[in-house]
Structure 1
Amino acid sequence: MTSLHEILHSRLQNNTVIAKQHDIGVLRISGPDAKKLLQGQTTCDMNKLSDDCGLYGAICSIKGRIVSSFYLVQSHDEVLMIMAKDLVEKTLLHLKKYAVFFKTELVNEQDAFAVYSHITSSSTETTQATLAERLPVTQADQNITLTLGHYPLEVKWLIRREENQADCPAIEEKHSQLAGLSMLAARPLITLAQSDTLLPQWLNMQSTGGISFTKGCYTGQEIVARMQYRGKSKKQLALVTWQGQLDTTKDLLDEEGKSIGQVFSATHIEETCFAFVIINIEPSEAKALILDEQNITLLALPYPVGAKN
């Protein structure tokens, strides 16, 4: 396969990318029972969340489908759930059904926070055996920095409280046309249109630190565990690239014209498109991947699929 590290290094050319993530929102959960509420509703282990360690995870329905996926950071006695902006309100309403039994408050804070991506070239040139469950966090004043990944790019998110920033220097955006490369941190967030349609394993969350198989019960846990240990679905996330504009609503086909998956998300960097696809075969089994009558190129993921936390 084509080396993802080499492709991205040539794209960045040692430039630093700083860009506001206009499609990202924040749900704030506070109160003495905030983490207890989330422990029973998320795939990640809330006992591992701290002021200097963030998490990646999902909220599932009783059928094991992802209602929302997110990053979590803790700021003192508050938990910030960072997700697609169009999913914040749905997630709030979903959690409120359970929050009545806990001393906690949930607030849609998408107007109170801004999230910026910070992307630099990675010094690491090899995939990792497994992605860390805990994500490094640093906090200073009203700003929080969450490190999403170190390979194939160094990707960080700067989470900034918009209030009381009069005395703080503004964040200057740089090379924002390359901001879409942050998706290659390989821990994707679903959108409202994708809510309730996907199992966590279809996004490789068992390999990216998004599912704890030791934390105990949570809504949808039985289905998620059964899929991990007894499931027969081969659906998984794969990374592809192509040149030009293709119809991403069309099915992904194999060399015989059989449908083997769909595009999950895509970003264009000039004429080059990078996309995550959900396919129902092992990527190594595909002799060809065809989208919109054009052959597309399979890229190696920055982690092996199959490992679990």
Structure 2
Amino acid sequence: MSKQDSLPVSSVQAAGFVILANRTIVRVSGPGADKFVQGQFTQHVDEVTEGQSLRAAACTPKGRTYCLTRLVRDGNDLLMDLENSLIDNTLSHLRKYLMLFRGTTMDALPTARIIGLIGESAATAVAGNGARTLKSPGQVLQIGDSHLIRIENTYNQTPRYEWWQPNEEHACPPDVSEITLDHWRESSIAAGVPWLTQATIEAYVPQMLNLQHLQGVHFKKGCYTGQEVIARMHFLGQLKKSLYRLSFKNTNQAPEEGTRLLMNGKSAGEVVNAIMTGNQQGELLAVIRHDADPDLLSLEGQELAKLHLEPLPYPVPEQDKRTQADT
């Protein structure tokens, strides 16, 4: 992490752009591209169109998530984005299956990039009034050979977008302030959108990360790796923990990914992502048991830190203790 990225970030209400240098675009192309992706990801590729991009996960046979990504249609190809810190591990997993599809390739695009945009004014600086046609997460506007994607709002309804540039760099939006990568990560936490790290690879099934509420799991598609476990958890109502958003204060350091949350001295969950947002305060996403009492939670190793449950910008029926169904 750079010195700039380690600084406290400002309010997620501020408009701005950031080059997401922590992520790499990967192109899947060839006659078996759709079938390959269909067999490895939780999303139905037929629903990924020029006008719609969807989130997806890739999982082990035991249903444990090793990749969180977004799928984007680019002509006859499919694009996805991978965290740089995990790209080697992810591609190694996927190439075990890719060899079954002759003539199909999966290549990282080193000259491609994604720009994150916060605020409608940042999006209109890129696409003019066309950006205002993007009302819902996943909607896509073509800008030449690039793709402007509406993604999830923050909890306070601040619009967010991603500008995918797979073939050539387009100029950053003029008259829009550049923000830090940590600012973007803060907005992701405020939107209830997690990302994986080395500490959380293969730790959770997609539903524990609320991916079914982020357009990331298609429960009616055909077979894919890990589907049996994921479907059973969904249809039998076996989900016992999921992703929550919390704020913390009274500490000078954000907890590391994988840090346990304790209730009465026993493990009740783990930190997935966390970031400082100001002096001795920050926000985090954590996978927590549904039967845990948020008022009794503490951070292992940071017992003086105070935690407070914050709302997510989307409903999570599984977290209602009166209904334990996974719907």
**Shorter-chain TM-score: which interval?**
0.7 to 0.9
Q: Normalised by the size of structure 2, how large is the TM-score?
A: 0.78
C-alpha distance in 1 between matches for 2:120 and 2:27: 32
- Equivalent residue letter for 2:107: V
Once residues 275 and 172 of structure 2 are traced to their aligned partners in structure 1, the CA distance between those partners, rounded to angstroms, is: 27
Higher mean Cα deviation, 137-146 or 73-82? 137-146
Q: CA–CA distance in 2 between the matches of 1:201 and 1:71? A: 16
Separation in 2, partners of 1:52, 1:171? 22
Query: Which runs of no fewer than 5 residues in structure 2 stay unpaired?
Result: 1-9, 122-134, 319-325
Q: Measure how far apart 1:92 and its partner are.
A: 2.1
Q: 1:133 to 1:72 in 2, by over 3 A?
A: farther
Cα deviations across residues 282-307 of structure 1 (Å, max 9, x unaligned)? 46x43332221122111011112137
- Paired residues for 1:195-274 under 5 Å: 195-230=201-236, 232-243=238-249, 244-246=251-253, 248-249=255-256, 250-254=259-263, 256-271=264-279, 272-274=281-283
Distance 1:186 1:170, change over 3 A: same
Which residue identity lines up with residue 312 of structure 2 in the other structure?
A: L
**Whole-angstrom distance in 2 between the partners of 1:204 and 1:170:** 32
Q: Which residue of 2 aligns with 1:174?
A: 177
Alpha-carbon RMSD across the aligned residues, in angstroms, is 2.6
> Which residue does the alignment assign to 2:312?
301
Structure-to-structure mapping, 1:26-105, within 5 angstroms: 26-102=25-101, 103-105=103-105
Identify the residue that residue 145 of structure 1 maps to in structure 2.
148
Aligned partners of 2:20, 2:193: CA distance in 1, in Å? 16
What is the DSSP-based 3-state SS (H/G/I as helix, E as strand, rest coil) of the residue aligned with 1:194? coil
1:279 pairs with one of 285, 288, 295: 288
- Could you list the structure 1 runs, at least 4 aligned residues long, displaced by more than 4 angstroms after superposition: none
Q: Distance in 2 between matches of 1:192 and 1:295?
A: 26
Sort the Cα spacing of 1:171 and 1:85 in 2 relative to 1 into closer, same or farther, 3 A.
farther
**Alpha-carbon distance in structure 1 between the residues aligned to 2:291 and 2:160:** 28
Q: Hey, what does 1:11 align to over in structure 2?
A: 11
Report percent identity of matched pairs.
Answer: 29
Tell me the CA shift for residue 181 of structure 1: 2.7
Q: Which residue identity is paired with 2:143?
A: A
Answer yes or no: is the 8 Å Cα contact 1:28–1:79 preserved in 2. Answer: yes
- Deviation, structure 1 residue 133: 9.7
Please report how far the alpha carbon of residue 99 of structure 1 lies from its aligned counterpart in structure 2 after TM superposition.
Answer: 1.8
Q: Distance in 1 between matches of 2:317 and 2:288?
A: 15
Say whether the 8 Å CA contact 2:294–2:308 is kept in structure 1: no
